[in-house]
Amino acid sequence: MRRLALAALAVTGCAVSAGSANVGQWRARRVVDSTACLQTPDGRCARTVTIGRDLPARTFGGGRFAFGNSGYAQRRRDGAVTHGAFIDGYYEYFRGRGRFAVGGRVGATVGVGFASHLLFLVPVTAMAHAGGAWGSAYVGVGYAPVATESEVPADPEAMAPPATWHHDSAHALVGARILLRQTYSQSIDVNPEVRAQTLGGSTLISITANLGLHF
C-alpha cells in the first residue's frame, strides 16, 4: 500500500477555474509597451528609451474546481505508523486585490489503506493567498464536520462493521500554484499541497497535487 500511495502522486488530478484564475495576476506592475533607440549622426545607438506605463492593483474574484487530486498519506497513532492513498476534490471561491486574496473551500476526501481502513472526510477551510508573476502560495485552516472511518474486512463477502464518526478532525494546509505557462487568455499551473489533520486521536499528513488548466 505504501508503494501504491506514492505512485498515486504521479497521477495528479485536474483543476479548472472561472473568473481570475491566478492570484497575483492583477498586482501593481509596470508594463513596457515599446523601446526606441536614439541614434547618432553616424547611425550608432547612443541611448535606448523604454516607453511603458504603470498599472495599478485591481480587485478580482474567482472560483476553482479541483477533482481527482491523488496523493500519499501517513497516519500516526500511539506510536504506530500506517500508510495510504488520498483522493481529494474541492470547490474554492476567493476575492482579493493586487497580490493578496482570501476565500473559502469545501471539499471531499477519501483515504484508502491505513491497515485496511477507509476514511471519508468533508473538510471546510478558510484560505489566504499571496501571489506574483511566478504563481501563488496559500495557507488554510479548517474543520471537517463529516469525518468517518470504516474497517475493510479481509473477506470480501463478510459484513463490514458500522462506520465510526469522529468529531475532532481539525486541519491546516499549505500549498503553491506554480505557473508553467501563461498567455493573455489561458494558463497552466501545477498545484502541490500538504495537509495535516487530526482524526480519532491520530494525526494524518498528506501530500496531493493537481494540474490546473484555466481559460
Domain holding 117: CATH number?
A: 2.40.160.20
Q: What percent of the chain has pLDDT over 70?
A: 94
Q: Number of folded domains in the chain?
A: 1
The tens digit of pLDDT for each residue in 47-92 reads 888 888 888 889 999 999 999 898 999 999 988 999 999 999 999 9
Q: What is the pLDDT averaged over residues 157-182? A: 91
Cell of 203: 494525526
- pLDDT attached to residue 55: 84
The tens digit of pLDDT for each residue in 179-215 reads 998 877 788 899 999 999 999 999 999 999 999 888 7
Q: What range defines the domain where residue 183 resides? A: 2-39+46-214
